[in-house]
């Protein structure tokens, strides 16, 4: 018990020796962990939304009203015969009007100005593989019954590409800040070890093991890292919960992420932080113990 008291007492004594470096280290770990937590959570949210969109309507073909309804039906039958197509739904003018009223129910001024007669009938197409939307566009090109074609696949591809770029950029930035935190921990421990050089020599003379001498430094590095990461995770959870009730969630972008994913991500970050602290402390006082 006395040994444990010594370790904890010296851990906090060491931290009081260089308070500014300790605070700077915690802030660096905080920023790095927050970036990792939020970017990985954002990627999971984007993937959930992408999956939802991919299971919905992939191609919308707006039909020319000057062409007969028989031609519309023939076009629908043709589309349903394609092996790439899972389902085709015919959307009438009336259904298009009801959909528009539902989407813009909070904008009564806009609804009063819209001439619903100009809304076209359409075919909503769900594909077995969303990537096949280009084949549908190519086959419908020049068809007299087709007025306009819109596809969600292109937007999804751009969104995923943008997300991957942001995740990569944030990861690189987080790694640079983590490296800065690593250097700060090493310098903090080296300064502390230098100030306690005589004490360390005396402890080695009376037979104290290297592990026992290292423990206060290890606890200091792990403690600083855990505080920074814990605050970052708390901010990350708060930011996600806020986003669920913000204007973002009220748009087409659904802030859908499971608590299980967030808990697993939290545990991984905390365990990684402990490993980070152990490694930084080992590097930081290795020279002091070998002298």
Contacts (Cβ under 8 Å, ≥6 apart) of 100 = 111, 114, 116, 119
**Helices 259-290 and 153-195 meet at what angle, rounded to 10?**
30
Q: Are residues 201 and 254 in the same domain?
A: yes
Give the span between the Cα atoms of 52 and 39, in whole angstroms.
Answer: 20
For residue 56, the model assigns a pLDDT of: 62
Using CA atoms, how far apart are residues 186 and 265, in angstroms rounded to an integer?
26
Instruction: Indicate whether 68 and 135 sit together in one domain.
Output: yes
| 169 and 257, same domain (yes or no) | yes
Specify the residue for token string 């100030």.
Answer: 195
Return contacts of 235-240, CB within 8 angstroms, 24+ apart: 235/34, 236/34, 236/37, 236/38, 236/41, 237/262, 237/266, 239/38, 240/41
Domain boundary pick from 110, 134, 151: 151
The pLDDT of residue 155:
66
Q: Are 116 and 97 in contact (CB under 8 A)?
A: yes
pLDDT of residue 166: 73
Q: Are residues 169 and 282 in the same domain?
A: yes
- Which 3 state secondary structure label does DSSP give 257? coil
Same domain? 121 vs 251:
no
| pLDDT at residue 253, as a whole number | 55
Q: In the listed set 134, 151, 168, which residue is the last one of a domain according to the structure? A: 151
Q: What is the mean pLDDT of the chain?
A: 76
**Same domain, yes or no: 163 and 22:** yes
CA 90 from centre of chain: 37
List strands edge to edge, sheet with 85-91.
85-91, 122-127, 59-63, 146-151
Same structural domain, 197 and 281: yes
Q: 59-63 and 146-151: which strand pairing? A: antiparallel
User: Of 121, 151, 181, which marks where a domain is finished?
Assistant: 151
Report the candidate in 104, 161, 126, 133 with the shortest Cα–Cα distance to residue 52.
Answer: 126
Q: What does residue 137 show for φ and ψ, rounded to 5 degrees?
A: -60, -40
What does the block give as tokens for 131? 């990537």
- Print the domain residue range for 132: 58-151
The tokens 């010594």 sit on which residue? 6
Instruction: Kindly report which listed range (99-113, 120-134, 162-176) carries the lowest average pLDDT score.
Output: 99-113
The predicted-structure confidence for 159-194, as pLDDT tens digits, reads as follows: 667 767 777 777 787 788 778 878 877 777 777 777
Please tell me the total count of domains within the chain: 2
Is the pLDDT score of 205 beyond 80? no
Share in percent of the chain as helix, strand, coil (round to 5): 75, 10, 15
Q: Look at residue 266 and give its three-state secondary structure.
A: helix
Q: 90-105: b or e for each residue (b if 16 or more CB lie within 10 Å)?
A: ebebeebeeeeeeeee
What pLDDT score was predicted for residue 289? 63
Q: Is there a single domain that holds both residue 274 and residue 165?
A: yes
Looking at the fold, whether 79 and 177 belong to one and the same domain comes out as no
| Cα distance between residue 46 and residue 155, in whole Å | 12
pLDDT digits (tens, 9 = 90+) for 233-249: 999 888 888 777 765 54
**Residue 208's CB: how many other CB atoms inside 10 A?**
13
Q: What CATH number did the domain enclosing 124 receive?
A: 3.30.70.3040
79 and 187 in a common domain: no
Residue 141: other Cβ atoms inside 10 A: 9
Same domain, 86 and 205: no
Q: Are residues 106 and 168 in the same domain?
A: no
Instruction: Kindly report, residue by residue over 259-269, the tens digit of the pLDDT.
Output: 788 888 889 88
Angle at 189 between CA 183 and CA 192, to 5 degrees: 140
Reply yes or no on whether the pLDDT at 273 is more than 60.
yes
């Amino acid at each position: 018990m006395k040994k444990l008291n010594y370790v904890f007492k010296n851990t906090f004594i060491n931290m009081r020796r260089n308070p500014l470096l300790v605070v700077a280290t915690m802030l660096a770990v905080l920023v790095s962990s927050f970036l990792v937590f939020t970017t990985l959570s954002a990627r999971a949210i984007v993937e959930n939304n992408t999956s939802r969109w991919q299971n919905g309507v992939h191609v919308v073909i707006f039909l020319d009203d000057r062409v007969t309804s028989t031609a519309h039906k023939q076009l629908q039958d043709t589309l349903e015969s394609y092996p790439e197509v899972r389902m085709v739904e015919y959307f009438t003018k009336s259904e298009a009007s009801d959909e528009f009223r539902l989407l813009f129910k909070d904008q009564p001024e806009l609804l009063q100005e819209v001439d619903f007669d100009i809304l076209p009938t359409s075919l909503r197409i769900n594909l077995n593989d969303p990537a096949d939307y280009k084949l549908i566009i190519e086959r419908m090109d020049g068809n007299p019954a087709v007025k306009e074609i819109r596809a969600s696949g292109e937007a999804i591809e751009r969104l995923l590409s943008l997300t991957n770029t942001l995740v990569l950029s944030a990861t690189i930035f987080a790694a640079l800040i983590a490296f800065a935190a690593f250097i700060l921990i090493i310098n903090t421990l080296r300064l502390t070890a230098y100030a306690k050089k005589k004490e360390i020599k005396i402890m080695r003379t009376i037979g104290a093991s290297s592990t026992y001498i290292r423990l206060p430094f290890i606890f200091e590095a792990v403690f600083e890292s855990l505080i920074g990461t814990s605050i970052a995770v708390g901010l990350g959870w708060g930011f996600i919960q806020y986003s669920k009730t913000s204007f973002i969630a009220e748009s087409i972008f659904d802030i859908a992420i499971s608590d299980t994913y967030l808990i697993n991500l939290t545990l991984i970050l905390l365990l990684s932080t402990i490993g980070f602290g152990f490694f930084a402390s080992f590097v930081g006082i290795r020279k002091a113990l070998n002298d």
